[in-house]
Amino acid sequence: MSATATGTVDTVETETAIKTVTARTVVDSRGNPTVEVDIVLTDGSLGRAAVPSGASTGAREAVELRDGDRSRWHGKGVDRAVAHVNGEIAASVRGREAADQEGLDAALIALDGTPTKSRLGANAVLGVSLAAAKAAAAARRLPLYRHLGGAAAHLLPLPMMNIVNGGAHADNPLDYQEFMIAPVGAATFAEAVRMGSEVFHTLRRDLLAAGHSTGVGDEGGFAPALRTAEEALDFVTAAVARAGYRPGTDIGLVMDPASSEFFRDGVYDYAGEGVRRTPSEHADYLARLIDAYPIVSVEDPMAEDDLDGWRELTARVGERCQLTGDDVFCTHQALVRDGIRTGVGNSVLVKVNQVGTLSEALATVATAHEAGWTAVMSHRSGETEDTTIADLAVATGCGQIKTGSLSRSDRTAKYNQLIRIEEELGNSARYAGRSALRGA
């Protein structure tokens, strides 16, 4: 590829150059429309990617373009994003080398021309970014994790398995959004999945015996009518023990309060409990929970706008508990750098659709690792059967993945892909376990 005297770009077509780009509307795990992109290279290699969608979203996330036409898909249509892929984006990337991920993503960012990818839509841009990576991997006859991670990619992540849903992910009074289990003592990833499944089904029986519903939320965890974090943690801890495992030793607990969702007018409004807590009181409450239960990680313990609260909690418990920023960082490298510099948390949640291109997400992971922070590869509440994040977890060696419960095939697809990867790696596979956690 070379620049002419007029500044336009001439492309030299190779076997791995992008030949066709095709987008369509498909449905995600909530039955809402999302963007799927196919990229075919000159040699016939195909890459396909479907874009996830979040419900609990950070204010600084890249913009997911929706049509807003209430007569179609209740306003959530993605026809404009699909049209952008099939038109302007396709014309721009056709002939580009698929294996030049950074160059392709830089071109997509420049084409959009906005800080949040709001003109073309992050869902349009990301679909093309991920599909190109998959096509390039296919052309090299390599699995995606090997194409992106090279020969060193062999670490299977510790899974954070969501087994109780609340907050924006469920229709129950529970303020906190997720209660998860992490099989820190498993020997292999496959064993971690078995342990998680056994606890999941034990919890189901316990909830039924206590008269609770065992319907599930968006991410496959149960959504019983619990009101307090203690109630949820008590049920989960008991289920771990009743399944034959030692809480904290074999299986740690993880929480995602999604605190931005109930931070209003400078206070944390626990509607389910009928309690309002100041930032210091909220931090005190979280610290007491961390002391009382085998909690190894807390995601978004403080709201994205409560940076003083973040720093207070990090100073108090950051040496003994992982504090993972989602809304506060939105997978943006610059925001993570600010957090590292100012003492906000010690870990970052990585969601590729929060930032909009694969290259930017990979750069965020690298920045976290360079600072001694951890990174957690993550799904969204609106998922698809696409298993890209499973490969990304192995490719980056981040050692942790959050991809939902042990129910709903949009969640279990990622676990199944990691089981396949572990099998493919054979003796070189290593399960991260407890060592992946900050403060473990």
Sign of the four-CA dihedral 76, 78, 80, 81: positive
Q: What was the pLDDT predicted at 250?
A: 98
Q: Which of 351, 383, 414, 422 is catalytic?
A: 351
User: Strand 18-27's sheet: what is its strand order?
Assistant: 18-27, 33-41, 46-50
Sign of the four-CA dihedral 48, 54, 58, 59: positive
Query: For residues 130, 132, 138 and 140, what is the CA-based torsion angle, rounded to 10 degrees?
Result: -120
Structure letter (DSSP) for residue 391: H
Residues 371-421: pLDDT tens digits?
A: 999 999 999 989 999 999 999 999 999 999 999 999 999 999 999 999 999
Q: What is the mean pLDDT of residues 297-315?
A: 97
Q: What is the mean pLDDT of residues 331-350?
A: 98
The phi-psi region of residue 31 (left if phi > 0; otherwise alpha if psi is between -120 and 50; otherwise beta) is: left
What the block records as the tokens of 268 is 């944390």
Class in CATH terms, 17-141: alpha beta
pLDDT reading at 94 higher than 80:
yes
Query: Is residue 3 very low, low, confident or very high in pLDDT (cuts 50, 70, 90)?
Result: very low
Closest CA to 295 of 391, 178, 424, 407: 178
Q: What is the mean pLDDT of residues 140-156?
A: 97
Strand locations in 106-240 (E): 155-156, 158-165, 178-182
Q: What is the mean pLDDT of residues 238-260?
A: 97
The question of whether 219 is a catalytic residue gets the answer yes
Q: What is the mean pLDDT of residues 35-39?
A: 98
**Mean pLDDT score of the chain:** 95
pLDDT reading at 349 higher than 70:
yes
Q: What was the pLDDT predicted at 10?
A: 53
Which of 25-29, 105-109, 218-222, 421-425 bottoms out in mean pLDDT, i.e. has the lowest?
A: 218-222
Q: Is 379 annotated as ligand-binding?
A: yes
Q: Is 102 annotated as ligand-binding?
A: no
pLDDT reading at 217 higher than 70:
yes
The question of whether 231 is a catalytic residue gets the answer no
Residues 40-60: pLDDT tens digits?
A: 999 999 999 999 998 766 678
Structural domain spans, the chain: 17-141, 155-436
Q: What's the CA angle centered on 257, arms 253 and 262, to 5 degrees?
A: 165
Q: Is 36 annotated as ligand-binding?
A: no
Distance, CA of 392 to CA of 403 (rounded, Å): 12
Query: Is residue 218 very low, low, confident or very high in pLDDT (cuts 50, 70, 90)?
Result: confident
Q: What was the pLDDT predicted at 6?
A: 41
Q: What was the pLDDT predicted at 58?
A: 65
Q: Is 402 annotated as ligand-binding?
A: yes
> Please, which residues have CB within 8 angstroms of residue 334's CB and are 6 or more apart in sequence?
none
Query: Is residue 201 very low, low, confident or very high in pLDDT (cuts 50, 70, 90)?
Result: very high
Q: Is 178 annotated as ligand-binding?
A: yes
Q: Which of 36, 97, 198, 219 is catalytic?
A: 219
Longest dimension (CA), the chain: 76
For residues 23 and 35, the answer to whether their CB atoms sit within 8 Å is yes
Q: Is 259 annotated as ligand-binding?
A: no
Question: Does the domain spanning 155-436 belong to CATH 3.40.630.30?
Answer: no
Task: Please identify which residue in the block is written with the tokens 């706008």.
Answer: 305
